Structure 1
């Protein structure tokens, strides 16, 4: 999932961007800047405890609430400034830059869940077999049994390591993750039917990795048009008409859906995504993996990466509609 190396995709229209280019580049970058502001605001309000923009709109809050509220128009203004200061950048070049950034986010997420899954499964195995106190001592073993300790102390450093690893590799990792899911399932079958051994963490690991595979690979599937599309007319459309359909779909359906998921799931401490994350929620199985809260976070990663990719798709679709060079093939799997 990297930008196309074909230099044709980096060619804008002669003389720089016209009004249509600038309009849609502004729409895409305004969404991305606002996404950055939204993530920053969520961190400040729900984790640090700073008063949010909602308090400012309600007539309360202090200066910090108003500053957070003003970050959104500031982000939109920054997007406009960026577009007008870079008039020679074409739609496809912008789309490729956005896709490259999204690829790094997805790579980091895949490596993060890989590291967390392996380490947490080992900890759970050592706990259930009562080996952990022998290795690390009774005190640390008891601490590792508490979600509020294991999450910040073990999981968060591994999440950071995953995104650092993403800087040094070009593979997305989901092919290897799929192989590991198969290996984990095979381990369950062999241990259950040959050795009569089964523990809760084994099933938790499969569910954890499978959820990541499904949600994190969605943006890549969107880029490569690998999703299954049930259509009657699309397959017979010309490239320009497909561009129009994709642009409308990305703008009206895709981007709106992603913002809806984030607004419903990430704007309060009791929302469906943030509540498990803030409380380090785990399953009730005593010796299972402590990763249930991260699976709620998968929805946030899904919405963010899909939003980013829909912005890139919008730019590519508008370029297709205009007949710009460097078009991608639109031959995704379809059921007619």
Structure 2
């Protein structure tokens, strides 16, 4: 499978002649501003619910989060302004960059995020499975001692001192790899299902963590691969008129779809999921939520976070897609046939 950061065609020369005399700067500025504001939103979400800052809501008459001074609300609001300024400065310093080059750059950033997420679910899933197996078989205490074995039975400890370092390790691994590994993750899901079948029907052995691992990996496969599917033109189109459009009209359709349907949907997911302490993404992560099965995997809170990863990766890819679509509208060289999936 071709890596996400190598499949998008790019103009070889940043000063290449385009089919339009209009400057691409406004579109590039708009795209980078969306990404910058999203980053500020995620940072403020962390500051609100993990560090106890009041958030920006009190400035507009909303409820105060935590007990810190309202002055922090203005600081947090300033983060959004700073994000917008940085987006403008970045585009201003890179004016010769074309829309296709920017789309490629953003797609590369997204590829790194998805690679890190892939390695995280792989490593965390395997390590947590080993811990749960040793616990259910009564072998963990003999290996790590009674105190640590007891701590590993608490979700806050396992999440903070086992999962988080493994996620950090995954980010490092992602920096040195170039493939996404969705094929391998799909194979691992099948292998995990096969182990359940063999264990149940041949050895009469089945534990909760085995099914949890399948759900954990399958959820990651479905949500993390969405941005890759978008880039590979693997999503399903139901518009019977699209195939007959020329390149520029397809660009208009893709640009409007990215903006009105794609990016807006991702914002809805982020706002609903992270709009408050008890919302569907924040609440499980804050409490390190687990399943009711005592010897299952302690990863349910991470599965809630998958929704956030999905929204962030899809929004990033939609911004890249938007820039590529506008480049098609402008008649810039280096485009791709949207009716044919990228080569593998």
Q: 2:114 aligns with which of 98, 106, 114?
A: 106
Q: What pairs up with 1:80-159 in 2 under 5 angstroms?
A: 80-159=88-167
Partner Cα distance (2:105, 2:150) in 1: 46
State yes or no: 1:46 paired with 2:49: yes
Shift in Å at residue 8 of structure 1? 2.9
State yes or no: 1:31 paired with 2:31: no
State yes or no: 1:209 paired with 2:212: no
Q: Which residue of 1 aligns with 2:280?
A: 272
Q: Which moved more, 1:78-87 or 1:216-225?
A: 78-87
Shift in Å at residue 10 of structure 1? 4.5
Q: Residues 9 and 46 of structure 1: is their aligned pair in 2 closer, same or farther, counting only changes over 3 Å?
A: farther
Partner Cα distance (1:18, 1:71) in 2: 35
Q: Which moved more, 1:288-297 or 1:138-147?
A: 138-147
Q: TM-score, normalized by length of structure 1?
A: 0.95
Shift in Å at residue 231 of structure 1? 2.4
User: Deviations along 1:282-314, whole A, 9 cap, x unmatched?
Assistant: 000111111000000000000000000000000
Q: Residues 332 and 38 of structure 1: is their aligned pair in 2 closer, same or farther, counting only changes over 3 Å?
A: farther
Partner Cα distance (1:180, 1:129) in 2: 23
Q: 1:219 aligns with which of 219, 224, 227?
A: 227
Partner Cα distance (1:153, 1:282) in 2: 16
Partner Cα distance (1:217, 1:5) in 2: 16
Partner Cα distance (2:257, 2:335) in 1: 18
Q: TM-score, normalized by length of structure 2?
A: 0.92
Q: 2:169 aligns with which of 161, 173, 178?
A: 161
Partner Cα distance (1:31, 1:273) in 2: 21
User: Deviations along 1:37-83, whole A, 9 cap, x unmatched?
Assistant: 11111111110111211122228752211011122122122212222
User: Deviations along 1:141-164, whole A, 9 cap, x unmatched?
Assistant: 111111111100110001111111
Partner Cα distance (1:12, 1:287) in 2: 59
Residue 272 of structure 1 aligns to a residue whose secondary structure is coil
Q: For structure 1, list consecutive stretches of 5 or more residues without a partner in the other structure.
A: none
Contact 1:9–1:327 under 8 Å retained in 2 = no
CA RMSD of aligned residues (A): 1.9
Q: Which residue of 1 aligns with 2:327?
A: 319
Q: Residues 202 and 5 of structure 1: is their aligned pair in 2 closer, same or farther, counting only changes over 3 Å?
A: closer
Q: Residues 170 and 232 of structure 1: is their aligned pair in 2 closer, same or farther, counting only changes over 3 Å?
A: same
Q: What pairs up with 1:227-238 in 2 under 5 angstroms?
A: 227-238=235-246
Partner Cα distance (1:183, 1:241) in 2: 45
Partner Cα distance (2:8, 2:160) in 1: 40
Residue 25 of structure 1 aligns to a residue whose secondary structure is helix
Q: Residues 26 and 261 of structure 1: is their aligned pair in 2 closer, same or farther, counting only changes over 3 Å?
A: same
Shift in Å at residue 4 of structure 1? 5.4
Residue 195 of structure 1 aligns to a residue whose secondary structure is coil
Residue 283 of structure 1 aligns to a residue whose secondary structure is coil
Partner Cα distance (2:270, 2:197) in 1: 38
Shift in Å at residue 173 of structure 1? 1.6
Shift in Å at residue 100 of structure 1? 0.3
Contact 1:17–1:88 under 8 Å retained in 2 = no
Contact 2:36–2:84 under 8 Å retained in 1 = yes
Q: How many residues align?
A: 333
Shift in Å at residue 7 of structure 1? 5.9
